[in-house]
Chain A
Amino acid sequence: MTLLAVERVSKSFAGNRVLNEVSFDVRAGEVLALVGENGAGKSTVLGLITGLLAPDSGRVVYDGDPVTSWSPHRAREVGIGSVHQELSLNPHQTVAENVFLGQWPSRRGFVLRRDLARRARPLLERVGLDVDPMTRAGRLPLGRQQLVELAKALASKPRLLILDEATSALDDDQVKGVFTVVDELRAAGSSVIIVSHRMGELFAVSDRLTVLKDGEVMATRERAETGHDDIVHLMIGRELSDLFPPKAGEVAAPVEGEDALAIPSEEAIASDKAAAEETPAAPPVPAGRPVLSARGLTVPGACADVDLDLEPGRIIGLGGLQGQGQRAVLRALFGLVKHTGRIELDGRPARLASPREAIRSKIAYVPEDRKVEGLHVAQTVRANLSLTNLDVVTPARRLTTVDRGAEARLVDDLVERMRIKVTGPDQEARRLSGGNQQKVALARWLPSRPRVLLLAEPTRGIDVGTKREIYHLLRRLADSGVAVLVTSGDTMELVGLCDEVAVMYEGAVVDRLAGADLTEERLVRASVTGTEAGTNV
C-alpha cells in the first residue's frame, strides 16, 4: 500500500527550476532513501512533503488524498514527523518543552511542567538519550540535540518519519540507536524517508533508494538489487575513483607555486596516483620543524593539556567521538576562545588572543558552521572573497580605496581555480549549494598563503564529488608546505585523508595513530574506549 506519492511535481525559485516532474512513492512500512548530490533537489522535495513549500505543478498524495492547503501544522496533524540537519529546537526551552514543541499536552488549557517531563521520558529513552527532561536544550551538545529532535518527531506518533541528514552530528553508537528506532517504526507499519550523505548508513537501513540528480529522478532501486557504485554512478553521472589523494611522501615531487592553490585537474589526480603507485614503499616523511606547536593547550571546560605539532606538508586529524574538545582546540589556535598553554610559531612563543592575531601569523580557519561563522551568507561571493584579502585589493593600508579591477581579477581567479559554480561574482553566498559555499569559505584564505590551515568538519553535508575535490586540494596545499589540521566525525575521512590522527576523549588526546596503525578499526576503538588502542593487536 502506498502511503505517500509525489506525482510529477515541479518547483522553481526565482526562475531556476529546482524540481522537474519528480515522481516517487513511499509504501507503508518501508524505508526509502532519497539520495543525490547537493543541489539535486532533495531538500525541496522534503519541503513539499512537510508543508514548508508548495509545488508549482504536480501534487503530493498522502494516504490516498491529494494534499491541499498544506502547512507544517497540517502535515504534523496527519502524522508526518521530520528531523532536519538544521535544528528546529528552541535552545532556551527545556528538553521536555522541545519534545512537544507546538503540541504541548494541556489540562484545561494549562501546560504542566511535571506532566511534560513525565511524558517526555519514555520518548527520550526510546532514542537512547539519558538526559534530564528539564535541562535547557541549548546546553546539550549538537549530537544530543539532534536526538531530542528525533524524540520530538516521535512524539507526534508519525506514520511517515523524515530523517534529513538527521545523523550528521551523531557518533556511531548514536546512529545505531536511531536505526533501531527506524526498524521499530517499520515493524509497526510506519514509513521512513531518509536522506544522508553517508552511503553506508543508507544501505544499512533502507528498503529502496530513489536517486535525484539536477531536480529529476534518475532511478528507484531495491536495495537488494543495487550496490554502492551503482548509486554513486547514478548520483553524479560518472564513475568516481580516487576519493582520497596519496599521502605525504607518496608522491615524488612536491607541488609548488600557484598550482598548489587550485583544485587539481583530473590529469593531475591521475598522475599523482600513478606516481604513488610507482613509489614502492612510502619513504619516511621528513620530520620538518613544526610551524606551530602547542604544549598544554587548555580551554576551560572543553579541552585540557593538548600537545600538538603541526608540520609543513602534513595533514593532522583530530578524531574521537562528537564533542570531545576537538572544536575547542581549533578555535583556540585561531584565537576565538580564551585558552592557556604555550603556543610557538616557528619556535618562537606566540600569543593568539584574537582571530586577527592568528591571521597575521598566517593561520587560516574554515569553521564547521559555514552559515554563521564561515561566510557572510547574505553578501555576494565577491564580497566574501575580497573581505579576507583587502590587503591585496587596496593599494595601501587603512582608509584606502578598494581597487575594483584588482578585486574582480582576484575573485574571477579564485572562482576558476576552485571551480566554484556561481552565476556570477554578484551571486549571494546563501544561494550556493553547500559544497560551493565550502569552496568559497576555503578559497577566501588562499591568496594570503596561509602556513597553517585549520578546518572543522570540512565536508559535512557536502556531496561526494566536492568532497573529493576538497581532499585533493588539501593534499596539494600540504604538499606545497602548508600545515593542515582537520577535525572530523567521519572516520573514513580521517583515515583516508590524514597522515596522523590524534584521538581525543573528554578533552584530552588519548592516542595518536599514523602509518599502518591508522585504520578505521583502531580509530574507532580509541575513540570509544578513550585509551590507547595499542600497536600490536
Chain B
Amino acid sequence: MTAITLPRGLRDNRAAWAFGVLLVTWIGAILFAKGFDSVSSVRYLVQTAAFLGIVGVGQTLVVMMSGIDLSVSGVVALSAVVCAQVASGSGGTTGVVVALVASVLVGIANAAGVTWLRVPPMVMTLATGTIVAGALLVYTNGSPKSAKVPLLASLANDRVVGIPLAFLLWLGITAVAVWLLHASRIGRYVFALGNGERASRASGVPLARTAFVAYGACSLLAGVAGLVLLGFTSTSSLTMGNPYQLLSIASVVLGGTSILGGRGHVLGTVAGALMLTLLTALLASWNISEGVRQIVLGLLIIGLLLAYARERRS
C-alpha cells in the first residue's frame, strides 16, 4: 500500500516540496553565505518578497484556471503611477482608491477579452499590458511623479511586533486566496476550468463569472503590490512592474502549481516567491557579474523545476 500512496502523496504535494526546498536553500544560505543569519536579514527578505508574493498569489488564481496574466507588470506600474499622480492633487486615500479601481478595470478587460472575444489569455493580457503601458505614457507625458503617501509608506516599511507590515499584508491576502481557491464554490469552478473547458461548460460552470473573479482578483493584487512598492520607494516609474511579469509566473510554478492549470496550491506560491527572492539576494551577495548571476538563476530555476515540477506525460 505504501508503495502506492507514497509517490502519489509526494506528487500531489508539490507545494510541500517547495517549502522543503526553500528551507534547505535558506539553511544553506545561512551556513555558507554571509549576512543571512541575522533577524534583520530575514525581515528584509520577507518584506521584499511580499511585493513579488502578492503579485504571485493573484497570478496563481489565473494560472489555476488555465489562464495566464502577462499584464501584471503593466498593472503594478499603473497602480503606483496613478496613485502618485492622484495623491499629489487629491490626497493619498483618493489616490489609493483610484489606483485600485483602475487596476481592477484592467482585470475586467482581460476577462472580457478572454471569455467573450475568445482571445487566447497570453495574447489578451499581453495586449492589455501594452495598452496600459501606452496609456501611462500619455497620462504622465513620459515623466511619472514621486509621491510620499504616508499610509503606503507605513504599510511598506512599518513593523508590528517586529514583523514587517508588508509581509503581514501578504499573509492576509494569501489566507483569503486559500479560502477562495480551496474552500469556496468559485474555487471549484476555477479548478474545473483548469482541468478542461469543454467539460466545465457541459457541467454548467459559469465560465464568465469565474474568469472575471480570477482576472479581476489578479489585477487587484497586482495593483496592491504596486501601491506597496510606491510606499517602499516613494517614487513611481513606468517600468517598475517589468520584473514581475515573468517572476510572478516563475514563483507560481516553483510553488508547484501546474502551468497548465487545475493542479496546485496557493501556499506553494508563497514558498516560490520567497525562494526567488532568496536566490536573487544570495546571488547578489556574491561578487559575480550580472550575466553570470542570471545564468546561475536560470540554471537553478530549471534544476528546481526538474526536481519537482515535472508534468507527467500524457
Contact = CB atoms under 8 A, between A and B. Distances in A.
Touch test A–B (CB under 8 Å): yes
A376 B186 contact: no
A374 interface: yes
Interface string A377-408: 11100010011101000100011111000000
Contact of B188 (A374, A386, A444): A386
B202 A356 contact: no
Nearest to A400: B185
Point out which of B179, B191, B196 has the most chain A C-beta atoms below 10 A from its C-beta: B196
Contact of B202 (A373, A378, A379, A398): A373
Given A376-B196, A378-B263, A390-B185, A355 B179 contact: no
B206 to A, nearest CB: 7
A485 to B, nearest CB: 16
A355 B184 contact: no
Interface pairs A-B: 3 shortest CB-CB: A359-B204, A376-B195, A15-B4
B204 A356 contact: yes
26 contacts: A14-B8, A15-B3, A355-B203, A359-B204, A367-B202, A373-B198, A373-B199, A373-B202, A374-B199, A376-B195, A376-B200, A376-B203, A376-B262, A378-B262, A378-B263, A379-B191, A387-B188, A387-B203, A388-B203, A399-B180, A399-B186, A401-B179, A401-B183, A401-B184, A401-B185, A444-B203
Contact of B185 (A336, A372, A377, A398): A398
Contacts of A471: none
A355 B204 contact: yes
B311 to A, nearest CB: 11
B204 A379 contact: no
Contact of A402 (B188, B199, B202, B206): B188
Interface in A1-34: 14-16
Contacts of A388: 203-204
Interface of B: 3-4, 7-8, 179-180, 183-188, 191-192, 195-196, 198-206, 262-263
A62 interface: no
A244 interface: no
A505 interface: no
A383 B191 contact: yes
Interface residues of A, number: 31
Contact of A336 (B180, B187, B195, B201): B201
Contacts of B192: 376, 379, 383, 387
Given A15-B3, A355-B204, A388-B203, A379 B195 contact: yes
Contacts of A387: 188, 192, 203, 205
Contacts of A374: 199, 202
A400 B200 CA distance: 19
B179 A365 contact: no
A334 B198 CA distance: 13
A398 B209 CA distance: 10
Contacts of B7: 14
Q: Is the interface of A mostly helix, strand, loop or mixed?
A: loop
A509 interface: no
Given A15-B4, A399-B184, A402-B185, A378 B204 contact: no
A481 B205 CA distance: 26
Contacts of A377: 195-196
A372 B198 contact: yes
A346 to B, nearest CB: 20
A375 interface: yes
A354 B201 CA distance: 8
B202 A336 contact: yes
Point out which of A373, A386, A394 has the most chain B C-beta atoms below 10 A from its C-beta: A373
A413 to B, nearest CB: 19
Point out which of A374, A377, A390 has the most chain B C-beta atoms below 10 A from its C-beta: A390
A378 B191 CA distance: 10
Contacts of B185: 390, 394, 398-402
Interface in A437-454: 444
B216 to A, nearest CB: 13
Contacts of B201: 336, 354-355
A383 B262 CA distance: 11
Contacts of A16: 4
Contacts of A365: 202
Nearest to B198: A373
Interface in A345-378: 354-356, 359, 365, 367, 372-378
B233 to A, nearest CB: 35
A390 B202 contact: no
A488 B7 CA distance: 41
B275 to A, nearest CB: 26
Nearest to B205: A387
A49 to B, nearest CB: 21
Given A376-B199, A378-B195, A378-B196, A356 B206 contact: yes
A399 B192 CA distance: 16
A334 B200 contact: no
Nearest to B261: A378
Given A14-B4, A378-B263, A379-B262, A372 B199 contact: yes
Contacts of B262: 376, 378-379
Contacts of A379: 191-192, 195, 262
Nearest to B12: A426
B182 to A, nearest CB: 9
Nearest to B182: A402
Contacts of B3: 15
A336 B198 CA distance: 10
A191 B230 CA distance: 75
A399 to B, nearest CB: 6
A444 B200 CA distance: 13
A386 B191 CA distance: 12
A250 B199 CA distance: 37
Contacts of B200: 376
Contacts of A399: 180, 184-186
A401 B185 CA distance: 6
Contacts of B188: 383, 386-387, 390, 402
Contacts of B186: 399
